[in-house]
Structure 1
Amino acid sequence: MTGLSERLLDMGFGHPRGPLGRLGGRLMARGNAATEQRLVDFAALTPDESVLIIGPGPGIGVRAAATRARHTVAVDPSETMLSACRKRCADLIADGKVALIQGDAANTTQPDDSADVILSVNNVMLWPDWHAGFTELRRVLRPGGRILLSAHDKWLPGGLPALKAAVTHAGFIDTQTWTWEPPTRGATTAAQLRAHLPATG
């Protein structure tokens, strides 16, 4: 891949911005929808839980989570994606069910022990520092809380074994991993993970 191609891909999907970022967001809304919904379903959210979503893209998963949980916070470094989220979730934001924050996995700006569940779809492979990201997510997740991740298997550095090792090293337990084939035409195999924090300590 040439340098120009890499920059264009980054502008559309890696760090969405400008017209390419808006186009990338529309493609994500279609291509990621089934995976977003699956992860929300698998999380089994309850009406008394608070959810933190890392890298929400155009907000498909935010909307799905917010219809089940008490409160949903979505953190994304891309203003282009946050703008798409605002449009898609305007009613939920107005009702106080959703909050959007500019940040990333290593800098969520959220209080300690503030999330019951953390979700992320097709974002973890973009984090520059997994240790920093999972350390931050451990800080904001309450004891006993759970984290669920999904990523493109073919673009996940080191695959599921490396992701599981990073999560375990950060102090999460009961880690389970698997792959899933999204029903969306042209979608790639999803590498997925679920883990918990210890209830105490």
Structure 2
Amino acid sequence: MAHGNAATERRAVAVAAPAEQDAVLVIGPGPGVGLEAAARLSAHVVGIDPSALILAMARRRCTALVARGRLRLALGTADRTGEPDASADVVISVNNLHLWPDVPAALAEIHRVLRPGGRMVLSAHEKWLPAGLPALAGLVAAAGFGSVRTWTWEPPTRMAPTAAQLAAVRPAHPAHG
């Protein structure tokens, strides 16, 4: 998992571009490649996963970052992160969207934890999005996000398939109807 997803994990962090002061939430961090990349840029990273085994793998990779207080790991899911309202500037999730049992509920949760103006970057193997990026973009827009952009990216390794990627922003001001 770490080898096959590493380039995509690092790419998602680069697209999200967290700053030192940004609070970053990584949903479904796998063995921690993206967590490590995010915690090198931001001093406030939280990784959540429903699997204690996955969190243990991430903890092993990121031991020094956890010890320095740059990274915290916790049990949670995309639709129940356990994080406070408006507590994150950036949310990143790579190759686990297909595991979310209720994508609209997860997007609502991400919207809740993001601060106004906060950004989200999602990436999934294109083959795992049977309805495609336009359908995902529609769900993201329906959840209240703006500035929704989608694209595909070819990871530089033969082991990793085409990545379907999406970036969006929680609007700074609610839409008026």
Q: Same fold (TM over 0.5)?
A: yes
Give 1:154's aligned amino acid. K
Aligned residue number for residue 117 of structure 1: 90
Q: Which runs of 5+ in 2 are unaligned?
A: none
Higher-helix-fraction structure = 1
Aligned residue number for residue 99 of structure 1: 72
Aligned residue number for residue 154 of structure 2: 181
Aligned residue number for residue 170 of structure 1: 143
Aligned residue number for residue 82 of structure 1: 55
1:91 shift after superposition: 0.9
What TM-score comes out, normalization by structure 2 length?
0.96
What TM-score comes out, normalization by structure 1 length?
0.85
| Greater RCO structure (CA 8 Å; 6+ sep) | 2
Runs of 4+ in structure 1 deviating by more than 6 angstroms, as ranges, are: none
Structure 1: distance between partners of 2:30 and 2:159:
19
Give 2:54's aligned amino acid. M
Asked if structure 2 preserves the Cα contact closer than 8 Å seen for 1:171 and 1:197, the reply is: yes
1:157 shift after superposition: 3.4
1:141 aligns with 2:114: yes
Give 2:51's aligned amino acid. S
Asked if structure 1 preserves the Cα contact closer than 8 Å seen for 2:43 and 2:69, the reply is: no
Give 1:110's aligned amino acid. E
- Aligned-pair identity (%): 57
Structure 2: distance between partners of 1:66 and 1:108:
19
- Would the alpha carbon gap of residues 141 and 82 (structure 1) be closer, same or farther in structure 2, given more than 3 Å must change? same
1:186 shift after superposition: 2.3
Structure 2: distance between partners of 1:155 and 1:134:
17
Q: CA RMSD in A?
A: 0.8
Structure 2: distance between partners of 1:194 and 1:42:
8
1:79 shift after superposition: 1.2
**Which of these two proteins has the greater Rg computed from alpha carbons?**
1
Where does 1:60-75 land on structure 2 (aligned, <5 Å)? 60-75=33-48
